[in-house]
């Protein structure tokens, strides 16, 4: 045997030994050597690969951290959509889920698998010939971001899967990336020592870490993973519970707290048990995922909308803590909505420290009898948004007073009013500084006018210096005015003016969305731009004309009419038009297919050859219309894979259903 063969065998043996120790440590949780001994093995491998770089392979344990930062994260189309789960919050809803499954499966026997719902980031891993080739985020379920280099740094993800006669070599694995409580605390301690940003909770830090451009930083933050899904075309998979066992054989980490349950009552006991145990876990969970075990039955049950019928997420009740209510302040939104906010004595709840929480409106405060100085119960709605959910009246201080809403706006002093039938108060002063800031932020955002350089800080400067009072003032700003502002200068001033100018050419629907008309989101703005070719025609539209558009109801129609009847709004629109902002729909160019023009399409399920947005764009470019719901007015329903309730409704209404191939032919 020559030298090169000896070296090759030695390198291969080192790699196999390191992989085996990774498996024992991360999968079996039974390390057989010390960290020092492990490091010695890795150092031997690194030294040999440095001496013989031609022998380095992508699946070598030494290749977890790439040398070059990632400049961008390309989009990846998932081979099978990553569906989201429907949520349930009570045992009664679990019973309803069990009833639906039973009705759909008829006389068939079925059982469930109950798994802890890790509070992390869902990812997909693709393996070819046993080697990890691509890793991606869930994204919108149809496509995500390619974060392969960052995922390689996670030692719980094998770069080469275990092989065996009964194990697949070409497959997809899905799992949850998370950070343990211990690693999260250690990372924040390092951040604090370096004088850098402190993270709020472990889930957000895991999500942010996965999108860092430098894999070396990702490697230092010690992310972990549990896997929960296996898909392969190499063999027939029969049972989800057995798939989890196969994932372990392949070298992946599966959460040990997973149980095969014969009935929904056993599932409920599992949920109750882990709700009580969760504070002691070394990582965060926010519920239990319940899945039908049989893969054949999963396929038979199918999916509805974006959620499978064979699985559901049981969310634990929100964690609650008590703290003192120091004050109630009022915030003014961009359309004048007055929202009460609780200022709290800082308290840790649901993974982060909370010092403010929403109080919704006057009725909410009155119904709970919330008073300044009270000891209040704070929880996180969906473990995300903090809110005050109750009062401990036994701890109420003497001489406490009921909270009363003021008569005037806290920002501008203008009288506020509460419309009949609504829960919120409003400030009607169009020039109210808080509303001005909010409207300009909305107008400048990426999905509206996308004005680069016009963030919150710059808007505050412009408003505070009385340089702008509304969005039309943006187009009258002078370079020297901006350059004189704190932290700006000539270059920043010019960049801002260039960004404002660039927005003038954006489509009419983006301008409509940017105007901030109440209830007019992106979709509604697009509908209005499609049906009214200019701002003049929209401004003169009647309630009936507006409501005749599918997707426009009385509330939206009234809001649009109210906006254009307001003198301030009319003057604003006139000034924007004079500034050169697009106020007309551009005429469609290209050929128009007579079989598509004027026809209404609904898209459902995942398409293979194009994204849903691409399909919408092609249909609209030929004069077709897109609707989000199926009705008698729908002409075609385009059904991709995993089509849900929209397809069923189309069948019931007798609407023509197109496959993706048929749609492409039509286009």
- Using the structure block, give the residue that is written with the tokens 């609407």: 655
pLDDT at residue number 479: 93
The values of phi and psi at residue 489, to 5°, are 95, 170
Alpha-carbon span 623 to 652, nearest angstrom: 27
Contacts of 174 (CB under 8 A, 6+ apart): 82, 122, 123, 124, 125, 227, 228, 229, 231
Q: What is the DSSP letter of 23?
A: I
CA 528 to chain centre: 27
pLDDT at residue number 46: 82
Mean pLDDT on 328-337: 90
Q: Is the pLDDT of residue 396 over 80?
A: yes
Q: What is the signed CA dihedral for 50, 55, 60, 61, rounded to 10 degrees?
A: -20
Q: Is the pLDDT of residue 627 over 90?
A: no
Lowest-confidence region among 392-401, 434-443, 650-659:
650-659
Burial of residue 363 (number of CB atoms within 10 Å: 0-12, 13-18, 19+): exposed
Alpha-carbon span 415 to 413, nearest angstrom: 6
Q: Is the pLDDT of residue 382 over 60?
A: no
Q: What is the DSSP string of 374-402?
A: -EEEEEEETTTEEEEEEE-GGGPPTT---
Which of 271, 409, 406 lies closest to 335, judged by CA? Answer: 409
User: Residue 619 — left, alpha, or beta (φ > 0 → left; ψ -120 to 50 → alpha)?
Assistant: alpha
Of 3 and 247, the structure prediction assigns the larger pLDDT to 247
pLDDT at residue number 1: 46
Alpha-carbon span 523 to 625, nearest angstrom: 12
CB atoms within 10 A of CB 590: 8
Lowest-confidence region among 264-268, 405-409, 519-523, 623-627:
623-627
Q: Which of 24-38, 45-59, 472-486 tops mean pLDDT?
A: 472-486
| Helix orientation angle between 35-51 and 3-22, rounded to the nearest 10 degrees | 150
Residue 76's pLDDT band (boundaries 50, 70, 90)?
Answer: confident
Alpha-carbon span 112 to 264, nearest angstrom: 8
Q: What is the signed CA dihedral for 325, 326, 327, 333, rounded to 10 degrees?
A: -70
Q: What percent of the chain has pLDDT over 90?
A: 47
Q: Are the C-beta atoms of residues 18 and 49 closer than 8 Å to each other?
A: no
Which residues lie across from 337 on neighbouring strands?
A: 426
Query: 164-191: per-residue pLDDT in tens?
Result: 888 999 999 999 999 998 888 888 887 7
Mean pLDDT score across all residues of the chain: 87
Q: Is the pLDDT of residue 616 over 90?
A: no
CB atoms within 10 A of CB 207: 15
* Structure-token pair, residue 528: 């209005």
Mean pLDDT on 120-128: 94
Lowest-confidence region among 14-23, 171-180, 285-294:
14-23
Q: Is the pLDDT of residue 652 over 70?
A: yes
Q: Are the C-beta atoms of residues 329 and 292 closer than 8 Å to each other?
A: no
Give the chain's radius of gyration (CA, Å). 29
Rounded to 5°, the CA angle 153-157-159 comes to: 80
Alpha-carbon span 427 to 415, nearest angstrom: 7
Which residues lie across from 288 on neighbouring strands?
A: 116, 314
Catalytic center residues: 117
Which of 276, 300, 171, 294 lies closest to 230, judged by CA? Answer: 171
Rounded to 5°, the CA angle 272-273-275 comes to: 65
Q: Is the pLDDT of residue 555 over 90?
A: no
Alpha-carbon span 371 to 186, nearest angstrom: 39
β 143-145/258-261 pair status: unpaired
User: Residue 405 — left, alpha, or beta (φ > 0 → left; ψ -120 to 50 → alpha)?
Assistant: beta
pLDDT at residue number 194: 67
Query: 436-485: per-residue pLDDT in tens?
Result: 899 999 999 988 999 988 988 899 999 989 999 999 999 999 999 999 98
Query: 88-121: per-residue pLDDT in tens?
Result: 988 999 999 999 999 999 999 999 999 999 989 9
Query: 229-286: per-residue pLDDT in tens?
Result: 999 999 999 999 999 999 999 999 999 999 999 999 999 999 999 998 988 899 989 8
- Using the structure block, give the residue that is written with the tokens 């951040």: 191
Three-state DSSP class for residue 588: coil
Query: 133-175: per-residue pLDDT in tens?
Result: 999 999 878 888 899 989 999 989 999 999 888 899 999 999 9
Which of 418, 413, 414, 377 lies closest to 394, judged by CA? Answer: 377
Structural domains in the chain, CATH included, are: 3-63 (1.10.287.610), 87-315 (3.30.470.30), 320-417 (2.40.50.140), 433-505 (1.10.150.20), 508-579 (1.10.150.20), 600-666 (3.40.50.10190)
Of 652 and 109, the structure prediction assigns the larger pLDDT to 109
How many DSSP H helices and E strands does the chain contain?
A: 24, 24
Cα separations in angstroms, 409 against 412, 414, 432, 484: 6, 5, 9, 31
Q: Please name the helix (run of DSSP H) or strand (run of DSSP E) that holds residue 46, with its range, or none.
A: helix 35-51
Convert 520-564 into a string of H (helix), E (strand) and C (coil): CCHHHHHHHHHHCCEHHHHHCCCHHHHHCCCCCCHHHHHHHHHHH
Q: Is the pLDDT of residue 590 over 50?
A: no
Q: What is the DSSP string of 53-91?
A: GGG--TTSGGGSS-SSPP----EEE-SS--PPPPEE-SH
pLDDT at residue number 3: 54
pLDDT at residue number 195: 67
Lowest-confidence region among 13-22, 289-298, 334-343, 590-599:
590-599
């Amino acid at each position: 045997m020559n030298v090169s063969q000896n070296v090759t065998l030695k390198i291969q043996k080192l790699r196999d030994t390191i992989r085996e120790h990774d498996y024992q440590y991360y999968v079996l949780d039974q390390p057989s050597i010390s960290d020092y001994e492990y490091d010695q093995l890795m150092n031997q491998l690194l030294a040999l690969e440095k001496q013989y770089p031609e022998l380095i392979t992508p699946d070598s344990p030494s290749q977890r951290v790439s040398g070059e930062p990632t400049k961008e994260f390309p989009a990846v189309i998932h081979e099978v959509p990553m569906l989201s789960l429907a949520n349930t919050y009570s045992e009664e809803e679990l019973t309803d889920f069990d009833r639906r499954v039973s009705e759909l499966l008829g006389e068939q026997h079925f059982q469930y698998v109950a798994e802890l719902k890790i509070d992390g980031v869902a990812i997909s891993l693709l393996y070819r010939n046993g080697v990890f080739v691509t890793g991606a985020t869930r994204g919108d379920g149809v496509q995500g971001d390619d974060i392969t280099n960052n995922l390689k740094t996670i030692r719980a993800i094998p770069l080469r899967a275990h092989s065996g006669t009964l194990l697949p070599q070409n497959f997809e694995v899905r799992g949850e990336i998370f950070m343990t409580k211990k690693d999260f605390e250690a990372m924040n301690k390092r951040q604090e020592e370096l004088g850098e940003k402190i993270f709020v909770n472990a889930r957000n830090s895991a999500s942010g870490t996965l999108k860092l451009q430098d894999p070396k930083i990702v490697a230092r933050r010690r992310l972990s993973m549990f896997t929960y899904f296996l898909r392969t075309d190499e063999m027939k998979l029969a049972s989800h519970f057995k798939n989890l066992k196969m994932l372990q054989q392949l070298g992946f980490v599966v959460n040990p707290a997973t149980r095969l349950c014969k009935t929904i009552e056993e599932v409920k006991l599992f949920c109750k048990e882990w709700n009580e145990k969760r504070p002691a876990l070394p990582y965060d969970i926010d519920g239990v995922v319940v899945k039908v075990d049989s893969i054949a039955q999963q396929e038979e049950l199918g999916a509805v909308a974006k959620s499978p019928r064979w699985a559901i997420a049981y969310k634990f009740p929100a964690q609650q803590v008590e703290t003192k209510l120091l004050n109630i302040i009022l915030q003014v939104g961009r359309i004048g909505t007055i929202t009460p906010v609780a200022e709290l004595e800082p308290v840790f709840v649901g993974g982060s420290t909370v010092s403010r929480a929403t109080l919704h409106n006057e009725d909410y405060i009155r119904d709970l009898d919330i008073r300044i100085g009270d000891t209040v119960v704070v929880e996180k709605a969906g473990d995300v948004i903090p809110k005050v959910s109750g009062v401990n009246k036994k701890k109420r201080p003497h001489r406490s007073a009921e909270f009363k809403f003021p008569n005037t706006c806290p920002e501008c002093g203008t009288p506020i009013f509460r419309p009949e039938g609504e829960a919120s108060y409003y400030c009607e002063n169009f020039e109210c500084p808080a509303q001005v800031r909010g409207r300009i932020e909305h107008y400048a955002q990426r999905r509206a006018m996308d004005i680069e350089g016009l963030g919150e800080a710059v808007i505050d400067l412009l408003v505070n210096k009385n340089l702008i009072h509304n969005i039309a003032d943006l187009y009258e700003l002078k370079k020297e005015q901006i350059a004189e502002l704190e932290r700006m200068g000539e270059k920043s001033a010019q960049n801002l003016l260039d960004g404002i100018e660039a927005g003038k050419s954006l489509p009419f629907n983006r301008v409509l969305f940017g105007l901030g008309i109440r209830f007019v989101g992106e979709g509604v703005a697009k509908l209005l731009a499609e049906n009214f070719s200019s701002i003049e025609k929209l401004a003169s539209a009647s309630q009936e004309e507006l409501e005749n558009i599918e997707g426009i109801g009385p509330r939206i129609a009234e809001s649009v009419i109210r906006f254009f009847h307001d003198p301030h709004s009319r003057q604003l629109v006139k000034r924007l038009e004079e500034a050169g902002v697009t106020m007309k729909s551009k005429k469609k160019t290209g050929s128009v297919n007579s079989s598509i023009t004027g026809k209404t399409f609904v898209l459902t399920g995942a398409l293979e050859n194009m994204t849903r947005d691409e399909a919408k764009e092609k249909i609209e470019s030929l004069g077709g219309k897109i609707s989000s719901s199926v009705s008698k007015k729908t002409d075609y329903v385009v059904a991709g894979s995993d089509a849900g309730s929209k397809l069923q409704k189309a069948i019931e209404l007798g609407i023509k259903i197109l496959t993706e191939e048929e749609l492409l032919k039509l286009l």
